[in-house]
């Protein structure tokens, strides 16, 4: 087996068992972002369903500092890990124990890789709908804050579970999403956030993802969803918690964490 396949199967095994490792063995450890993405791509091949979409990690300076990286990371959203709006999400041996409230964009047209960078307007023109969403991230590393970008990318950029809310009214296209206020709640405790916490603007984050994939030779396909990063400080969660993201006129999304650990 190739090193990227060995690394991917090792990470997938820990994911399935709910266990963690210190870091990947040196012989299969990625030394660059490109090598990390090569390992991550194997996760999609091991999935039983078509790829649901993409996530972006570390879209704020605080988030980047927390995990020791100098820029965003892309990860794959696997269909098997998508929880319906209002559903129940397994808690399990979750290591990170946080929920994130995010803008997500569903693509209506495929962006094919090219040498020239995509502009924000080009990317937005390919979007079909906007959705409020919740991400429940996690890591397969014991000390995910210290392993570095290549290994975090290999570990699917901390992707774990994802909740997609209903499509927002089409009027979202006329709004300044950078200035848009979002709130999240855990049970009866509320927290405030704003779109500018996501790379300055969720639309810029979407553009970043399109260009990151393009440079890797990967299309951003019609029908896929991109969740762009948390609008507010990640909210601490525990078993049994009720999580809600309120996007005002753009809608809401909710999920309950299962009672068992």
Q: CA 186 to CA 244: how far, in whole Å? A: 7
Helix 3-17 vs helix 33-46: crossing angle, to nearest 10: 60
Residue whose structure tokens are 């779109």 = 195
The pTM score is 0.96
| Cβ–Cβ < 8 Å for 187, 241 | yes
Domain 3-257 listed as CATH 3.90.105.10: no
**Residue 188 CB partners (closer than 8 Å, separation 6+):** none
Q: What are the φ and ψ backbone dihedral angles of 21, each rounded to 5 degrees?
A: -130, 160
Q: Which residue has the higher pLDDT, 107 or 260?
A: 107
Q: By the 8 A CB rule, do 255 and 85 touch?
A: yes
Do strands 53-57 and 225-230 pair parallel, antiparallel, or not at all (unpaired)?
A: parallel
- Strands of 39-186 (E only): list them: 53-57, 73-77, 82-84, 88-89, 98-107, 127-136, 161-164, 181-186
Question: What is the pLDDT of the chain when averaged over all its residues?
Answer: 96
- Whole-number pLDDT of residue 261: 66
Tell me what percent of the residues of the chain surpass a pLDDT of 90: 93
Q: pLDDT by residue (tens digit) across 75-134?
A: 999 999 999 999 999 999 999 999 999 999 999 999 999 999 999 999 999 999 999 999
pLDDT for position 111: 98
d(CA 174, CA 162): 26
Give per-residue pLDDT as tens, 50-60. 999 999 999 98
Specify the pLDDT at position 46: 77
Return the pLDDT at 45. 81
CA 162 centroid distance within chain:
8
Q: How confident is the model at residue 27 (pLDDT cuts 50, 70, 90)?
A: very high
Mind listing the pLDDT tens digit for each residue in 191-242? 999 999 999 999 999 999 999 999 999 999 999 999 999 999 999 999 999 9
Q: How is the chain split into domains, by residue range?
A: 3-257
Residue with token string 């090193």: 3
What would the pLDDT profile of 14-23 be if each residue is shown by its tens digit? 998 999 999 9
Q: Has residue 182 got a pLDDT over 80?
A: yes
Chain position carrying tokens 């810029």: 204
Cβ contact 234:124 at 8 Å: no
């Amino acid at each position: 087996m190739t090193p990227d396949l060995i690394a991917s199967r090792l990470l997938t095994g820990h994911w399935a068992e709910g266990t963690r490792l210190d870091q990947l063995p040196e012989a299969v450890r990625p030394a660059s972002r490109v090598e990390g993405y090569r390992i991550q791509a194997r996760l999609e091949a091991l999935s039983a369903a078509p790829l649901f979409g993409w996530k972006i990690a570390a879209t704020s300076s605080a988030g980047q500092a927390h995990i020791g990286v100098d820029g965003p990371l892309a990860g794959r959203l696997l269909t098997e890990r998508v929880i319906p709006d209002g559903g129940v999400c397994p808690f399990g041996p979750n290591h990170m124990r946080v929920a994130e409230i995010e803008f997500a964009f569903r693509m209506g047209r495929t962006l094919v890789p090219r040498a020239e960078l995509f502009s924000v307007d080009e990317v937005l023109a390919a979007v079909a709908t906007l959705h409020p969403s919740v991400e429940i991230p996690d890591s397969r590393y014991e000390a995910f804050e210290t392993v570095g970008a290549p290994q975090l990318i290999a570990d699917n950029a901390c992707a774990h579970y994802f909740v997609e809310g209903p499509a927002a009214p089409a009027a979202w296209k006329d709004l300044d999403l950078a200035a848009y206020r979002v709130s999240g709640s855990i049970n009866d405790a509320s927290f405030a956030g704003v779109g500018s916490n996501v790379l300055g603007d969720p639309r810029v984050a979407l553009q970043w993802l399109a260009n990151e994939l393009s440079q890797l030779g990967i299309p951003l396909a019609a029908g896929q969803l991109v969740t762009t990063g948390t609008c507010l400080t990640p909210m601490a969660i525990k078993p049994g918690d009720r999580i809600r993201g309120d996007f005002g006129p753009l809608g809401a999304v909710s999920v309950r964490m299962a009672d068992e650990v």
